[in-house]
A = this chain, B = another copy of it.
Amino acid sequence: MHQTFDAVLEMNLLQANQDGADANRDRFNRWGITCLNLMSSPGSGKTQLLEETLRSLQSELRMAVIEGDMTTQLDANRLRECGVPVIAINTGRACHLDSKMVAGGLHQLEHELEQENGQPSDFDLVFVENVGNLVCPAEFEVGEHAKVALLSITEGEDKPLKYPIMFREADCLLITKMDLAPYLDVSIETIIANVRQLNTHAKIIPVSSKTYEGLDDWYAWVRHQVNLRRRS
């Protein structure tokens, strides 16, 4: 968030974004689709986690991705390899996705899904992969049902305290790259204790997309989220 501009303008901006997010969420609800918003610093492993997740769950869930990047389709192309619809949004100079951008993505997605099977309600789950940024994405809802934050263990123990908004808002926190833990002076217990100072409810799962540590727990959490909203 840029502090230098007027507080009233900032409030209007956040309110307009929230209204758009609510509209997106209504749309997901009508379709019976769960939306999860993945957020983290650059290079914490969001895309690799999504690759593993899409491959592992595609026999049981119909999934799509809305992929946010400042520039390039690098991540979008990686995820398309997993055989799911991927809508790429380039944010240009913007440091996060906002609800208007995701509404545009949703419009494209609806079109793509309809072409496939007549109605988007056959889909279970849309992942939004946000721009890599531990600050602003936490303040701009996009219509998600739950927020997933990733923190690479290489980033150190103090990050929850230094970037509190993200860790306060998260419904699920994945501590990633656990395979590197033996080579670091970082205590997983201290990370978790720091998160708990801000957030008592978030599900916390240490994971590695390389060794697959923790991924079954993550998949169970994802399934639970989908089941909460799936049309009976």
* Contacts from A to B (Cβ < 8 Å): 1-5, 9, 13, 16-17, 41-43, 69-72, 74-75, 91-96, 98, 100, 131-136, 139, 152, 154-156, 158-159, 161-165, 177, 179-180, 183-184
Contacts and interface: CB of A to CB of B under 8 A. Distances in A.
Nearest to A5: B13
Contact of A2 (B41, B95, B164): B95
15 contacts: A2-B95, A2-B136, A3-B91, A4-B13, A4-B94, A9-B9, A43-B152, A43-B154, A70-B165, A75-B162, A133-B134, A136-B136, A154-B177, A179-B183, A180-B184
Given A71-B162, A159-B42, A139 B93 contact: yes
A104 to B, nearest CB: 12
Contacts of A1: 2, 93-95
> How many chain copies does the complex carry?
2
B4 A16 contact: yes
Interface centre among A2, A4, A93, A133 (most CB of B within 10 A): A2
Given A3-B93, A4-B100, A162-B71, A135 B139 contact: no
A4 B135 CA distance: 17
A123 to B, nearest CB: 27
A184 to B, nearest CB: 8
